[in-house]
Amino acid sequence: MGLLPIAEAPAPDVVLYPMRVLLKIQRRWREARMFAHAMKSKNHPIVAQIIPIRRCNLACTYCNEFDKHSPPVPTEEMLRRIDKLGDLRTSIITFSGGEPTLHPDLDLLIRRVRDRDAIATIITNGYYLVPDRIKRLNAAGLDYLQISIDNVLPDDVSKKSLKVLDQKLKWLSEYAEFDVTINSVLGSEIRQPEDAFEVARRARDLGFHSTVGILHDGDGQLKPLNSNQMTVYERIFGLGSGLFSFAHLDAFQRNTVRGLPNPWHCPAGGRFLYICEEGLVHYCSQQRGYPAIPLANYTKEDIIREAAKPKGCAPFCTISCVHQTAMLDDFRTRPRETLAGIIARRKERDPAWQPPASVRALDYMFLRDSHLREFFGAIALKLFRLSN
Ligand code: SF4
Ligand code: SF4
């Protein structure tokens, strides 16, 4: 048996497609394990956002998370930090910045996250994505990549534009074995709110997930949308539920865009950690300085204490990844009430709405009068090797 001659070799898509399906199934399985793990105990972080480099190649005028000069955090130090997050049993580790692809050993760092049995994600401006770079991210084992696109044409606020990035999106659609989410943005700094709809539509056309983010001020607080921006927001929402993640099923963001407070408890410092380039733990990108404890010394007691602390900034917070983390905790303590609330609120707005399969499965397991509920729970713990 030799190699197939080139003329008879299967076309790349024929090879790539089943491979992508297989990888997706594996990823969903690991996510399900992560979910079960998060449900089992609240004494570990669900998400840690870690900064491998503060420098960015762009300079979006609304951004307070970058500089133009910082060197990359040394690789050995980054590996120590990832190992520490692994020891704290962190489920998801997200590289952010600055621009994380400027770190020369990002692939090695991603690999280490996977070796520690966590889900590896990055948030990037996408400028350095070319086919070879995407293939190296595949090889490193990246699970998720998120790009924010702010407008259709670059302006003096932001160069993260569909025009500049569209070729990158096509390459991602062709080569990426990881999941891609495109985040469009609304807020007072964005000159053409209708661009957010074009970005969301393009994301859907290419088969990506799409989210919409609301710009916050320097404290992570909301700026309510005006009527024009609200119209665009509703149009994006109308593109279909398949575009939106679990968090968007909830009312958090709908209150946020209207400038209404959200009654929630922020678990930052415990279930969500932000690790700056100095290796200090902060609540989030917009509340740096609290508790500012070195990650190397962070303990389970710190996690429990900081997660429980009330945060004065919570009612008008727009940091959606922390909201999502909090929702998992709500689900953990009150699964039936949380899920029933999410479904009821969504149906109130759209009586014809049908929950996606994942929510229907949870609905069946938690909401129906099923004497099998405990049985399902026990099976899940066994399957995910989490039972005591
Ligand atoms: S690309 Fe991202 S990190 Fe860089 S300036 Fe813009 S928003 Fe900030
Ligand atoms: S409520 Fe939590 S996530 Fe939001 S700004 Fe405050 S500390 Fe950060």
pLDDT digits (tens, 9 = 90+) for 256-299: 778 888 888 999 999 999 999 999 999 999 999 999 999 999 99
For residue 284 and ligand 2, the question of a CB distance below 6 A is answered with yes
For position 363, what pLDDT does the model report? 67
Tell me, yes or no, whether 341 lies in a domain: no
Q: Which ligand is nearest to the CA of 161?
A: 1
Q: How many CB atoms lie within 10 A of CB 19?
A: 12
Tell me, yes or no, whether 176 lies in a domain: yes
Q: Distance from the CA of 362 to the center of ligand 2, in angstroms?
A: 28
Query: Model pTM?
Result: 0.85
Distance separating alpha carbons of residues 285 and 272, to the nearest angstrom? 11
Q: Which ligand is nearest to the CA of 159?
A: 1
Secondary structure of the chain as H, E, C letters: CCCCCHHHCCCHHHHHHHHHHHHHHHHHHHHHHHHHHHHHCCCCCCEEEECCCCECCCCCCCCCCCECCCCCCCHHHHHHHHHHHHHCCCCEEEECCCCHHHCCCHHHHHHHHHHCCCEEEEEECCCCCCHHHHHHHHHHCCCEEEEEECECCCCCCCCCEHHHHHHHHHHHHHHCCCEEEEEEEECCCCCCCHHHHHHHHHHHHCCCEEEEEECECCCCEECCCCHHHHHHHHHHHCCCHHHCCHHHHCCHHHHHHHCCCCCCCCCECCCEEEECCCCEEECCCCCCCCEEEEHHHCCHHHHHHHHHCCCCCHHHECCHHHHHHHHHHHHHHCHHHHHHHHHHHHHHHCCCCCCCHHHHHHHHHHCCCCCCHHHHHHHHHHHCCCCC
For position 242, what pLDDT does the model report? 43
Tell me, yes or no, whether 58 lies in a domain: yes
Contact 82, 93 (CB under 8 A): yes
For position 57, what pLDDT does the model report? 98
For position 221, what pLDDT does the model report? 60
Tell me, yes or no, whether 377 lies in a domain: no
Domain enclosing residue 106, as ranges: 5-336
Tell me, yes or no, whether 139 lies in a domain: yes
For position 219, what pLDDT does the model report? 57
Tell me, yes or no, whether 165 lies in a domain: yes
Taking the CA of residue 284 as reference, the ligand 2 atom at the shortest distance is: 8
Q: Which ligand is nearest to the CA of 320?
A: 2
Number of domains observed in the structure of the chain = 1
Q: CATH number, domain at 326?
A: 3.20.20.70
Q: Distance from the CA of 82 to the center of ligand 2, in angstroms?
A: 23
- Which residues surround ligand 1 with Cβ inside 6 Å? 56, 58-60, 63, 65-66, 97-99, 125, 160
Tell me, yes or no, whether 246 lies in a domain: yes
For residue 324 and ligand 2, the question of a CB distance below 6 A is answered with no
Pocket test for ligand 2, best of 96, 262, 273, 313 (most atoms within 8 A of CB): 313
pLDDT tens digit string along 94-124? 999 999 999 999 999 999 999 999 999 999 9
Per-residue pLDDT of the chain (388 residues; tens, 9 = 90+): 333 333 333 444 555 667 788 888 888 888 877 777 777 788 999 999 999 999 999 999 989 999 999 999 999 999 999 999 999 999 999 999 999 999 999 999 999 999 999 999 999 999 999 999 999 999 999 999 999 999 999 999 999 999 999 999 999 999 999 999 999 888 767 778 889 999 999 998 998 988 888 776 655 566 678 888 888 877 776 665 443 344 444 567 778 778 888 888 999 999 999 999 999 999 999 999 999 999 999 999 999 999 999 999 999 888 888 988 888 888 777 777 777 777 777 777 677 777 766 667 666 665 555 555 555 555 555 554 444 3
Pocket test for ligand 1, best of 57, 62, 63 (most atoms within 8 A of CB): 63
Tell me, yes or no, whether 240 lies in a domain: yes
Q: Distance from the CA of 78 to the center of ligand 1, in angstroms?
A: 21
